[in-house]
Copies of this chain bind each other. A is one copy, B any other.
Amino acid sequence: MISERMFDLGSRRSAIRELFEYGKQAALTVGEENVFDFSLGNPSTPPPEEFTETAMEILRNEPPCAVHGYTSAQGDFATRKSVASDLASRYGAKISPEKIYMTCGAAASLCIAFHALVSSKDDNIVAVAPYFPEYRVFVEGTGAHFRATKPDTVSFGIDFASLSEQIDEHTRAVIVNFPNNPSGALLSSEALASLAALLREKAATFGAPIYLISDEPYREITYETPAPYLPDFYPDTIICYSYSKSLSLPGERIGYVALPDGVSDIDRLYAATCGAGRSLGYVCAPALMQKILAKNASMTSDFSSYRENRDLLYSALTALGYSCVLPQGAFYLFVKAPNGDAVAFSEKAKELNILLVPGDGFGCPGYVRIAYCVDRGRIERSLPAFAKLIRILR
């Protein structure tokens, strides 16, 4: 007399959460400093000081009932204006504050966008692999089918032949994530132009818009070139954002869904976005966080430690004989399992207290994800274990 689906989702934790909990236990026996937990994308660089100062200033000076009261369901208008002007200054984006919907983080943004689009059990949403594993949970939560492309393991771009096969008349949206979790790859302008051409062709064939959902919480964390702005390539783009990574606030649950000018059926889609938020129980996004963003939606954490970690880990691991593509953003390294089996590799690594997430759940077997948003010392201490691990496997 209980939902079997919900029971399953709750009792079989995600592989990432499972490892994270394992790490907490292991720390009790071998010591916290000897657990090389690379499982979770929990930022290790603090929010900017301006963030904390703004929070304190609001708490100190503004009337508390106004600070902590309900905002409009879509978000405080001042916050949405601030977000719209941040997007305008960052990307030249044309997005009206009236088409921004503040959310409780990226997962909420995605659930709301999926629910707004899905109207039939026959519908499907296609993810470009490798993809964040919870996409499947969120899409299936709407009753629709989750589909994924084959991964392009050469550069972690898009396997267009596979994407073309997956899209059919029931496809409501394609979802991409960049810089990519788990590979750290950034979609190139060429890839985005091809993606736009394919989606336009499919939309014309099937006589209905196919939306591109751009899941971009890592947007600001790039190392060589800045992240592209997808609506410049394909107007039917729905932006799903979270401040979890850019402001190092994953626990605070603050983000948005934004519909740029020119999105097909924009007014109805925005209303459906509001309706989906309402139906899922999202009354409003956390108020204090909204008030902080109203004052400044452009600040970010300092990401230089992530770059240092990337460089250190990439050089050390490739020197040891591991194989991976140099990440262009985010804080993940996606490493080929030396023996080809990522689950077995991850289990072997666990014996040396190295916690790595197998790529299977990301739609890319044969690879493991290393979240390098940890302190540099932990990376340095882990290198002998990585050396031992590859010797064992050979």
Residues of A in contact with B (beta carbons under 8 Å apart): 1-11, 14, 17, 40, 42-47, 52, 55-56, 59-60, 63-65, 67-71, 73, 104-105, 107-108, 110-112, 115-119, 134, 137-138, 140-141, 143, 172, 208-209, 248-253, 265, 268-290
Neighbouring B residues of A283 by C-beta, 8 Å: 105, 107, 250, 253
The A interface is mostly helix, strand or loop, or mixed, namely: helix
**Given A3-B119, A272-B6, A274-B10, are A141 and B279 also a contact pair (CB < 8 Å)?**
yes
On whether the beta carbons of A209 and B1 are closer than 8 Å, the reply is yes
Which residue of B has the minimal Cβ distance to A103? B281
On whether the beta carbons of B8 and A280 are closer than 8 Å, the reply is no
**Given A1-B172, A70-B251, A107-B283, are A6 and B276 also a contact pair (CB < 8 Å)?**
yes
**Given A3-B117, A279-B137, A284-B251, are A271 and B110 also a contact pair (CB < 8 Å)?**
no
On whether the beta carbons of A3 and B272 are closer than 8 Å, the reply is yes
**Given A47-B64, A69-B250, are A6 and B116 also a contact pair (CB < 8 Å)?**
yes
On whether the beta carbons of B253 and A6 are closer than 8 Å, the reply is no
**Given A69-B250, A70-B42, A107-B281, are A3 and B47 also a contact pair (CB < 8 Å)?**
no
- Tallying the copies of this chain within the complex gives 2
CB of A78 to closest CB in B, whole Å: 13
On whether the beta carbons of A281 and B7 are closer than 8 Å, the reply is no
Question: Please, how many angstroms separate the alpha-carbon atoms of A69 and B373 in the complex?
Answer: 12
On whether the beta carbons of B110 and A281 are closer than 8 Å, the reply is yes
Pairs of residues from A and B, 3 with the lowest C-beta to C-beta distance, nearest first: A251-B287, A10-B275, A9-B275
On whether the beta carbons of A268 and B2 are closer than 8 Å, the reply is yes
On whether the beta carbons of B65 and A115 are closer than 8 Å, the reply is no
Neighbouring B residues of A65 by C-beta, 8 Å: 42-46, 248
Neighbouring B residues of A281 by C-beta, 8 Å: 104-105, 107-108, 110-112, 138, 141, 280
Question: Please, how many angstroms separate the alpha-carbon atoms of A119 and B384 in the complex?
Answer: 50
